[in-house]
Amino acid sequence: MTKNGKISDAVIRRLPKYYRYLGDLLKNGINRVSSNELSKLTGFTASQIRQDLNNFGGFGQQGYGYDAKNLRDEIGKIMGINNNYQVIIVGAGNIGQAVANYAGFYEEGFEVKALFDKNPKLMGLKIRDLEIKDIDDLPEYLREVHVDIGVICTPKEVSQNVANILISNGIRAIWNFAPTDIKVSENIAIENVHMNESLYTLAYYYKNKKEIN
Amino acid sequence: MTKNGKISDAVIRRLPKYYRYLGDLLKNGINRVSSNELSKLTGFTASQIRQDLNNFGGFGQQGYGYDAKNLRDEIGKIMGINNNYQVIIVGAGNIGQAVANYAGFYEEGFEVKALFDKNPKLMGLKIRDLEIKDIDDLPEYLREVHVDIGVICTPKEVSQNVANILISNGIRAIWNFAPTDIKVSENIAIENVHMNESLYTLAYYYKNKKEIN
DNA sequence: TAGATTGTTAATCGATTAACAATC
DNA sequence: TAGATTGTTAATCGATTAACAATC
């Protein structure tokens, strides 16, 4: 925790990992876990894990450790998992369709309500019972239906423009798959996924490990 | 640069961003750029940019700045972009197909050579002229064909197992889309994409910005 | 030459790790 | 109670930022 009381991004990005490994433990019938055991699973140090968790409160018990179920629930609450989010996807190409089809999200409260595209060939096509709608109808749709998260799966040339449309119609969270950094104001949540940067990073390490070995 | 001479992961992950923005500049006919201008584009400080670049050599010129074309080429060389990588995808579901279809990668030297799946219904189906092959034929395929990068798009239950098969048949770079942390030995390059963690992080920030506003 | 901007060293800041008293 | 393990403070480490001499 920094002095202004805000929790650092690095901490936030470790929370999903704790959440996931705790889920694995529970599935295996383990309902008690120490920071040391979590360390072995996650690869983070026990000290760091305790520090991270204590940003949000004392979830453990001295001499015992953490109750896995309770800790997982608490982390879920902190992150807002299972809160039920209304999601729309803009761009119904490969990535848009893959996101729409990814069942895992539905189980955790992320509900895709609609897909939009500008390609007339896709219009009316159904993905998971959802008809692909015309992107021109997007502003009107947003005026009528509450949407929490807008997923951008368009080409990069129009991604910022799409984001602007989403935001000016009330959306406050954007998950961006276009290979650009979408710029938003302070009050909007954004995640730029950047698969391409991930691939380049992989290529770098591949190249360099080869040179070493 | 740390004292052992290894360049930190944080630096490596900024390189693709430099590469991309330099490409944008060139496309706009701009072929000279200062660290200060790059700072405005990327959001990193000019000082950090100069530090980052000087891990790899002095690409700039005092009083002038950087030649955009040259700098982009150098960064491309450092990361190994355009080196031509032979890629296979294991798991030909939504994500696997989306990756296979993503044209951007082809332009940058990443060439998908084959898709594998265990679902008999998908067998023989064609994605971008590539027939989906039986996963049972994977080891034999790898003995015959050189592959640089294995992309894992399977369910999480089998992802580690698939990684082991890939590695034991000579693959040294893995791009993992399954929501797990695949464990590999030191000499193997791995990128765990973790879209689910990205989504949870988005949910966290969305929730917290709402509370603040 | 004067002005601009790099390359690089030094200072600062924040994140991680270590240590240990508190306590279950 | 003794042993275990947290919560938390202090120490360390590394990454970022600031500053400026070098130089184009």
pLDDT of residue A103: 74
What is the Cα–Cα distance from A52 to A77, expressed in whole angstroms? Answer: 15
Distance from CA(B181) to C1'(D5), angstroms, rounded: 27
CB B102 to CB A85 under 8 A? Answer: no
Distance CA A116, CA A19 (A): 32
Choose among B166, B155, B144: nearest CA to B118. Answer: B155
CB contact under 8 A, A98 and B94: yes
Q: What is the mean pLDDT of residues B72-88?
A: 96
User: Which residue segments constitute the domains of chain A, with CATH numbers given?
Assistant: 9-78 (1.10.10.10), 85-197 (3.40.50.720)
Measured between CA atoms, the residue of chain B closest to residue A173 is: B206
C-alpha span between B92 and A99 (Å, rounded)? 14
Detail the DSSP E strand segments found in chain A.
Answer: 32-33, 60-61, 65-67, 85-90, 110-117, 126-127, 130-134, 149-152, 173-176, 189-192
For chain B, positions 114-173, list CB contacts with chain A under 8 A.
148-149, 172-173
End-to-end C-alpha distance for chain B, whole angstroms: 40
pLDDT digits (tens, 9 = 90+) for A98-151: 999 987 788 889 999 999 999 999 998 999 899 999 999 999 999 999 999 999
Whether the CB of A188 is less than 7 Å away from nucleic strand D comes out as no
Give the nucleotide nearest to B66 (CA→C1').
C6
Q: How far apart are CA A68 and CA A4, in angstroms?
A: 30
Model pLDDT, residue B208: 92
Query: Is pLDDT above 70 for A2?
Result: no
Instruction: Indicate the pLDDT class of residue B5, thresholds 50, 70 and 90.
Output: low
CA–C1' nearest nucleotide, residue B38? C5
Q: Please state the pTM of the whole predicted model.
A: 0.94
Minimal Cα–Cα distance from A97 to chain B, Å? Answer: 7
Nearest-by-Cβ selection for B198 from A95, A97, A191: A191
Q: Which residues of B touch A16 (CB under 8 A)?
A: 194, 196-197, 200-201
pLDDT band at B6 (very low <50, low <70, confident <90, very high): confident
Residue A213's pLDDT is what? 45
CB A66 within 8 A of CB A60: yes
